[in-house]
Structure 1
Amino acid sequence: MAMNDRLTGIDTFVQAVDAGSFALAAERLGLTRSAVGKAVARLERRLGTRLFQRTTRQQSLTEDGQAYYERCVRALAELDAAAAAFDSGRREPAGRLRVSVPLLFGRHCVAPVLAGLAEKYPKLQVEISFSDRVVDLVEEGFDLAVRIGPLRDSATLAARRLGSQAMGICAAPAYLARRGTPRTPAEFEGHTAIVYGLNGSSAQWRIRDESGALQEPVIASRLRLDDVQAIADAAVAGHGLAWLPCWLMARYLASGELVLVTGSRNTVAADVHAVWPQSRYLPTRTRVAIDGLVEKVAGVLGA
């Protein structure tokens, strides 16, 4: 059996013990529960002993399993320490860094930061994939991703907050001249919205009323687009109200192509995070990228 297969089985076994269940270990490792169970079973066959005492309600280590677990933890710690020492011993980050970023936000707010890191560190190779799709970092081989909004897979990812994306509602002067300018959540009803959405669904707009309470006005939406720049273009063309990030909206407000209807004080901001697969140590190239994003992105957002 290849050494790599043996180590993979050991790591899976340790994760299963630490998680307390095969199901949770599978979630953390990005595997199916069946794959974790099979890896442990192969390990038991190779060792010729039972590692887990399984019942319908719980799983616990056998005496042999406990002894083997303690040795595995020490062995993996030594391997991780060796890898970390080798990586931290480098004078500068090196190797390939694969990053997934949202399409427009990534282009305007993330790519310049990462390009600056590539310029600063000649041994660093940065690959950026631009997509609003939520990628599976482990499955698709990404070292790092930038996410806007709630984190849905935080059980398997580590995260660091980069800032807050302030939002606003705007429209073209011609649209407002024709349809009127809504000032309260109730006045939004009857207006037309250009919304961000996919597969027939879209995020509901939430607007604060005079008391500060969040309201969800009913706004008709005949245009549902999955590209923020296309939403801005449609708003400039007079097709309706648009919910846009303030960093994108600013230049249209300055040119007069769009008019602010509701500012960031009365809308809900979206948190921006850097996320990466949980691991025992963080490669220098990933750590440097995270630190660079923490330092720069909040300033770009104006938050």
Structure 2
Amino acid sequence: MDQLTALRVFRRVVDEGSFAGAARSLSLSPAAISKNIGELEAHLGVRLLNRTTRRMSLTEPGRLYHEQVARILDDLTEADGSMQPLRHRPSGLLRVAAPISLTVTRLSRTITAFMQAYPDVEIDLHLDDRRVDLVKDGFDVAIRGTAKLEDTSLVARRLMAMRHVICGAPSYFDGAGRPHRPEELASHRIVQFSLSGNASEWALERQGERVTLPVASRYRASTSLAVREALLDGYGLSLIPASYVREDIAAGRLETVLDGWAPADTQVYAVYPSRRYLLPKVRALIDFLAEDLRSDA
């Protein structure tokens, strides 16, 4: 028995005052109407309707049940109606997960611009450089940076690519010297971003030449912001997204070395659970991010 259908049939029979009227109203056969009522009464274990070939009336249990069913179906209709605005215009709460460093250096400005463009949307932004479970943790969208997106049931849209540089403070290079070949990095102090896919091994390429280096460090940090601070303090050198240190390099606070040597770009994706029934608020955010970050791609 499809209980929801049976409830709707029962209510329509009572409202129309007959099986024939309910059948016409619902575009069902009289046999289907009778079958639904019979299955509903068998499910409940009570007779809901007294019926003869000439008339029909509610039993006492039927009258009580009809009152409750009518309220439930009205509430359901109202609940369905409340979804209509969400289907047609961006509104409501968006739970978004994003990396700390990328948000502080770039995404934050984009998100505030989005909020101004869509005043009916609320955003709960969760910052974490670790990978969240979208479905388990209840996020609508996650921003992820990775050299390669693994096969997954999630949907991903590419937003931008991040180039990396090897850099450090002038004071560090004045004391430790500047490496001229990747192999010379073994004699330098390195600050590791511990959550990176290449944290323990740097694969550097230049004009078709590829060098893979094991990386060991006394200092490992789980956010690139801490890596940047260590570089500015002159502790050592590191491999870091160029956008995170662009202003520091322009101001001379940091200097690049091994120019031309770099790993594959880190691709940044907007990841979300499904394309089906994608809410306007989710689509609006992803489209806005893609457009705003296009200049960085």
TM range, smaller chain:
0.5 to 0.7
Give the direction of change, closer, same or farther, for the CA distance of 1:264–1:111 in structure 2 (3 Å limit). farther
Aligned counterparts, 1:218-229, within 5 A: 218-229=214-225
Which residue of structure 2 lines up, in the alignment, with residue 8 of structure 1? none
Structure 1's unaligned 5+ residue stretches are 5-45, 47-81
Alpha carbons of structure 1 residues 151 and 284: separation in structure 2 relative to 1, 3 Å: farther
Please list the CA deviations of residues 109-146 of structure 1 after superposition, one character each: whole Å capped at 9, or x if unmatched: 22222221221122111111111121111111100010
> Is the aligned partner of 1:109 residue 2:106?
yes
* TM-aligned CA distance change 1:2 to 1:105, over 3 Å: farther
- Superposed CA RMSD in Å reads 2.9
Mapped contact 1:196–1:203 kept (Cα < 8 A)? no
Aligned-pair distance for 1:3? Answer: 7.8
Q: Which amino acid aligns with 1:115?
A: T
Give how far 1:87 is off: 5.5
Shift in Å, 1:285: 0.4
Distance 2:214 2:136 in 1: 39
Q: Report the counterpart of residue 282 of structure 2 in structure 1.
A: 286
Q: Does 1:180 align with 2:188?
A: no
Separation (CA, whole Å) in 2 of partners of 1:292 and 1:136:
23
Q: Alpha carbons of 1:89 and 1:228: their partners in 2 closer, same or farther (altered >3 Å)?
A: closer
Q: Aligned to 1:148, what secondary structure does the other structure show?
A: strand
* 1:255 equivalenced with 2:251 (yes/no): yes
- Superposition map of 1:1-303 within 5 A: 86=84, 90=88, 92-150=89-147, 154-197=151-194, 202-209=199-206, 211-263=207-259, 266-299=262-295, 302-303=296-297
Secondary structure at the counterpart of residue 180 of structure 2: coil
TM-score by length of structure 2 reads: 0.67
1:59 aligns with none
- Native 8 Å contact 1:207 1:267 kept in 2: yes
Higher mean alpha-carbon deviation, 270-279 vs 216-225, is at 216-225
Task: State the match for 2:8 in structure 1.
Answer: none
- The residue type equivalent to 1:190 in the other structure is S
Q: Per-residue displacement from partner, 1:128-166 (whole Å, max 9, x unpaired)? A: 111112111111110001000056664220010001011
From the superposition, tell whether residues 102 and 240 of structure 1 become closer, same or farther in structure 2 (CA, over 3 Å).
same
Cα deviation, 1:196-233, whole Å, max 9, x if unaligned, reads 1159x934222225x52221224441111111111111
The SS at the match of 2:194 is strand
For the 8 Å contact 2:202–2:213, the answer to whether it is kept is yes
- List gaps (5 residues or longer) in structure 2: 5-42, 44-79
> What's the offset of the Cα at 1:195?
0.5
1:172 is displaced (CA, Å) by 1.0
Cα gap change, 1:149/1:97 in structure 2, threshold over 3 Å: closer, same or farther? same
Matched length: 221
Cα distance, 1:243 vs structure 2: 1.1
SS at match of 2:202: coil
- For the residue of structure 2 that corresponds to 1:252, the secondary structure is helix
**Are the equivalent residues in 1 in contact too, given 2:204–2:261 (CA < 8 A)?**
no
Q: Indicate the SS of the match to 1:186.
A: helix
Matched residues in 1 for 2:126 and 2:3: separation?
33
Residue identity over aligned pairs, in percent, reads: 30
Specify the SS of the correspondent of 1:273: strand
Amino acid at match of 2:245: M
